[in-house]
Chain A
């Protein structure tokens, strides 16, 4: 981990989408980790303990909600780390379930511009 840079983990199964996010965050001076599914995302998260996590909901192997749950139960870091959910649909059931794990940021992908996603992450990390 290079000094001073904030770290972010992006877990998204859609390659093009993951790369867009990774590149954008790199350009915005973040250190990035990424994973194509929840299982690997969970592994990286627990090992690297990034400053903020971004999970897609519908993913192979382990979905974003289950991954969130496991992270929250893992350690003190896991309890505190801000998590942002990426989704394609607004689904109140999953919203309320994830809210019980302390996740309140739901990004409906089609509604968000990339710079606004970065702005939200910076705000969450107290960078602005």
Chain B
């Protein structure tokens, strides 16, 4: 459609110029030769008609060729570099077409180089992460075991203070181990080498098993845990991965819900899927950061301000597990806009704050899709 409008536009301009020019000539002829008006008009009419047809044809021809070039440029802008333009004649439009072809072939080679360079880079990055995390695990376990050795009193008695400091060191090391494990998982996800091995599994058992990991924290923060489970038949699930994504989501809920808050885990059987809903009434996710929730190393600004630890990799890993196994994941968080003008922020009604976050996952009743891979993700089972 665009081509048509443009060609008519150009033809119109040429025609208008031509028409005005002809009128001037007619008046000049009349003025200079004193020819009879009637003859002059007939002559002018014939001339104009011929000229009109001639001009229209020529201008159509030009603008059509020009429109082809424009169309090609638009295609290039949209990322299509496939076909070359016909250059045809050697006039200006022909030269223009030739120049566009030249540009296109240069862009083509440039893009091909960029793509292969990008692939190389991302492969190198992934290799590095895999290697680094593997190499890091040896010293990390050595640190772990020696602290453990001393903490157990195997290297002599310790006083309370020493025990306390060493426990801190032990816990930091555990965090480092978690981070390295998560990084390794991410590299396996990015390269696509992780496997999904579904077997008949009781999903409610998996949810409870994941919940067990947080017993202490839940007790400490006096959180209410609501478990609303439908009667769900055995489904083909990868047991490790299922526990892992439950752990990731419950961990977030427990971490970001204030003392006395509520964490709800709902497992519902729908017609085709199992719907998993994990909600809390924690600090929520700032609206302008919601689009980044599933990206690597994401940590929302409001939780960064809280004293809490996190790798920012859990949701990225969770999303990869769910989507690679044929499920869906999304969330709702009707939280306030964090980065707004602070004055405006006070306008947000209190009940709109701390409304928490709800994560939804669906897994088809026929189970997770099997995925052949050489590596497992590191769940802590």
Contact = CB atoms under 8 A, between A and B. Distances in A.
A110 B134 contact: no
22 contacts: A16-B142, A17-B138, A17-B142, A17-B145, A20-B146, A20-B149, A27-B154, A89-B134, A90-B375, A91-B376, A92-B197, A92-B376, A108-B378, A110-B137, A110-B177, A110-B180, A110-B181, A113-B144, A114-B145, A114-B152, A115-B148, A115-B152
A14 B142 contact: yes
Contacts, number: 60
Interface residues of A, number: 21
Given A16-B146, A89-B134, A91-B374, 14 more contacts: A17-B145, A20-B145, A23-B154, A24-B149, A24-B154, A89-B375, A90-B376, A91-B375, A92-B374, A92-B376, A109-B138, A109-B145, A110-B137, A110-B177
Nearest to A108: B378
A17 B138 CA distance: 8
Interface of A: 14, 16-17, 20-21, 23-24, 27, 88-93, 108-111, 113-115
B149 A23 contact: yes
Most central of A27, A93, A111 by chain B CB within 10 Å: A111
Interface string B101-136: 000000000000000000000000000000000100
Interface string B301-312: 000000000000
Contacts of B146: 16, 20
A88 B154 contact: no
Contact of A110 (B140, B149, B374): B140
A18 B144 CA distance: 13
